[in-house]
Amino acid sequence: RKKVKSIVEVTPDSVIGETVTVKGWARTVRAQKALGFLEVNDGSSFGGLQVVFEGDLVSSLKGVGTGCAVSIEGEVVKGGGKQPIELKASSFELVGGCESDYPLQKKRHSLEFLRSIAHLRPRTNTLAAAARIRSTLAQAVHAFFDEEGFNYVHSPIITTSDCEGAGEMFRVTSLDGKELSRSSEKDDFADDFFARSAYLTVSGQLSGEAYACALGDVYTFGPTFRAENSQTARHLAEFWMIEPEIAFADASGAMDNAEAMMKFVIKKALSDCKKDLEFCDKFYGNNELIDRLTSISGSEPFLRLSYTDAVSLLQEEIAKDPKKWQFPDVEFGTDLATEHERWLAEVHAGGRCVFVYDYPRSIKSFYMRDNDDKQTVAAFDLLAPGVGELVGGSQREESYDRLVAKMTEFGLDPEDYWWYLDLRKYGSVPHAGYGLGFDRLVCYVAAIENIRDSIPFPRYPGSAQF
Ligand code: 4AD
Ligand code: MG
C-alpha cells in the first residue's frame, strides 16, 4: 500500500525510535504494580500492537479493559517477544469506556455467533480481514477496468424489467405498503414512471448493454437483489455484482476479459493484503490458500470446457462409482448443481478455475445468442474451487427479429422490453458481457466458507434485525 495508515502495519525498521500516536481499541489489558501491557488494534491490519506502560502511567490502565477505545502516544521500540515492534507509552487517554458485558472477549467465537452481532464483528480478526480484503478487491476491480479503458456506468437500482426473466424480483412499495402509483395527477412524467410496478434490479446488464452500444466498453458495479428464498452458503438476497459489457465482442472475448480481471484483482490482493491472507490461510485455507491464489493469478490460462463435455465427464464419474460423490444425475439439459460445479473445478481442473461454455438454450436467459446448432447458446460460467459458479456471462442476441422470437418463445412480452429492442434496431452490434458475483469472489479469495461472512450486513431471509 502506498498510504500507510498506522504503525500497526508498517515494517519495523522504518519506525523504531519514532514517537507516534496510536488510536484504536484495546484487545487485552494486563497491569501489575510497576508494569502494564495493552494490546491495541486500530483496524489497519491484522493483529495488534503491544504497548508497554511503566511507572506512574501504569495506574492509568485502571478500569481499562477489552473493547475500550484508547489513544496512546509513545516511542516505538524493538519488540521483546515475537513482535517486531512495541510501543513504550508516554501518555495515555481513555477515549471511550467499554461495559463489562462486551460480547467480544478475547477468545475464538463461532462465525455463527458473530453473525448475531454483525455490528461488532468487524472488530474480530476474521471479519476485519474479510472487510479489508473486500475493500482491496473492490478498488482493484475499478483499477483493472480503468486500465483497460472501460467506463464505469451507474445502472439503476429501481427498475421495471426483469433481466433474468426468473421472476425473483423484490417489488418496491411506498411506505404505507401500497404500490407506488400516480404521485401527481398533473405531472405526466411521474405518471408514466409510477404507473407500472417497480422492482429492485436483479442485474444491471440491460442498462449496461445500452451504454456499451454507445461507449464501447463499460462496466457496472453495484448492489443487485434476488427474492429467492434460499438459505445456502452461496446466496444472498442483496449481493454486489460486477457487470462488464463489451461492444464488438463475442463470448470468448468476454471470457478473456473475465480471466484477466480475476488474475489482476487476485494479484492485487496478494500484494496488498499479505498479512490478512496469511491469517485466512492459516485459519480457514488449510495452508493452501496463498499457493492457490498465486497459481491462479499466474500465467497458466484457466481451463475451458464445453457444457456437453462437462456433462460427459460428470456422467463418467457417476458411472465409475455412483455413491462416491453423491451427485444428482446429469444429462444434456440439466442445470449443473453446486456439487457438479465444484467437482469440475476442484477435481477435474485440479483446484483451478474452469470456464464451462455453450449451455443448453432451454436453461438459460432469453437474451443469450443461439449457437448454430440451435441447441445451445453462447453462454459461459466460470466455476471456482470451493465456491462453484462465480461468473455467468454470454454473447447477447443482436438481431431484432431473433430476439423478439425468443422473447415470445420464453413467455416474455416484447413490449415490456421496447427500449432494449431499440438497441437492435439502431446500429446493433455483436456484444457480450458477464456478471461476477463480488461476494463470492471475496469468499474465494479469503477462503470464507459462508457468503454471509463476506459482506458487512448480509441480507438473507430472516436477517432483518440489522
Ligand atoms: O448468473 P447470473 O444470474 O447472471 C446475470 O445476472 C447476468 N445478467 C450477468 C451478466 O451477464 N451481466 O448472476 C451472475 C453472478 C453469478 O455467477 C453469481 O456469482 C452471482 O452473480 N450471484 C449471486 N451471488 C450471491 N447471491 C445470489 N443470490 C446470487 N445470484 C447470482
Ligand atoms: Mg448464472
Q: Is 390 in the pocket of ligand 1 (CB under 6 A)?
A: yes
Q: Is 246 in the pocket of ligand 1 (CB under 6 A)?
A: no
Number of domains the chain contains: 2
239, 460, 463: which to mutate for ligand 1, most atoms within 8 A of CB? 239
Q: How far is CA 299 from the centre of its chain?
A: 23
Phi, psi of 58 (to 5 degrees): -60, -35
d(CA 90, CA 84) in angstroms, rounded, equals 20
- Protein residue whose Cα sits closest to atom 23 of ligand 1: 437
pLDDT given for residue 3 in this prediction: 47
Q: Is 420 in the pocket of ligand 1 (CB under 6 A)?
A: no
- Compute the distance from residue 49 Cα to the ligand 1 centre, in Å: 40
Same domain, residue pair 101 and 240:
no
Query: % helix / strand / coil in the chain, to the nearest 5?
Result: 35, 25, 40
Same domain, residue pair 241 and 326:
yes
pLDDT given for residue 228 in this prediction: 86
Q: Is 391 in the pocket of ligand 1 (CB under 6 A)?
A: yes
Q: Is 236 in the pocket of ligand 1 (CB under 6 A)?
A: yes
Q: Is 359 in the pocket of ligand 1 (CB under 6 A)?
A: no
Q: Is residue 114 part of a domain?
A: no
In terms of residue numbers, what domain contains 191?
A: 122-453
Same domain, residue pair 411 and 447:
yes
- Compute the distance from residue 85 Cα to the ligand 1 centre, in Å: 45
Domain boundary among 58, 73, 107: 107
Same domain, residue pair 194 and 290:
yes
Same domain, residue pair 304 and 381:
yes
Same domain, residue pair 219 and 279:
yes
Q: Is 249 in the pocket of ligand 1 (CB under 6 A)?
A: no
Same domain, residue pair 411 and 285:
yes
- Segment-wise mean pLDDT, segments of 10 residues, the chain, 466 residues: 56 82 94 94 88 96 96 93 89 97 90 96 96 98 98 95 84 64 44 65 97 98 93 95 98 98 98 95 96 96 98 94 86 94 94 97 97 97 95 98 97 93 98 98 98 96 79
Helices (H) and strands (E) in the chain, counts: 12, 16
CATH of the domain at 101: 2.40.50.140
Same domain, residue pair 63 and 191:
no
Q: Is 296 in the pocket of ligand 1 (CB under 6 A)?
A: no
Q: Is residue 466 part of a domain?
A: no
- Compute the distance from residue 391 Cα to the ligand 1 centre, in Å: 7
Q: How far is CA 6 from the centre of its chain?
A: 26
Q: Is 369 in the pocket of ligand 1 (CB under 6 A)?
A: no
- Interface ipTM > 0.90: yes
pLDDT given for residue 385 in this prediction: 93
Q: Is residue 2 part of a domain?
A: no
Q: Is 204 in the pocket of ligand 1 (CB under 6 A)?
A: no
- Compute the distance from residue 439 Cα to the ligand 1 centre, in Å: 10
pTM of the predicted model over 0.90: yes
164, 241, 382: which to mutate for ligand 1, most atoms within 8 A of CB? 241
Same domain, residue pair 103 and 157:
no
CATH of the domain at 201: 3.30.930.10
CA angle, 420 then 230 then 124, to 5°: 105
pLDDT given for residue 463 in this prediction: 81
- Could you tell me the three cell numbers for 18? 519514532
- Compute the distance from residue 186 Cα to the ligand 1 centre, in Å: 40
161, 162, 203: which to mutate for ligand 1, most atoms within 8 A of CB? 203
Q: Is residue 44 part of a domain?
A: yes
Same domain, residue pair 103 and 133:
no
Q: Is residue 189 part of a domain?
A: yes
Same domain, residue pair 186 and 219:
yes
Domain boundary among 60, 81, 107: 107
d(CA 301, CA 251) in angstroms, rounded, equals 16
Q: Is residue 293 part of a domain?
A: yes
Q: Is residue 60 part of a domain?
A: yes
Q: Is residue 458 part of a domain?
A: no
Same domain, residue pair 294 and 238:
yes
In this structure, the dihedral spanned by the alpha carbons of residues 321, 322, 325 and 331, taken in order and rounded to 10 degrees, is 120
Domain boundary among 84, 107, 130: 107
DSSP H or E stretch at residue 341: helix 338-343
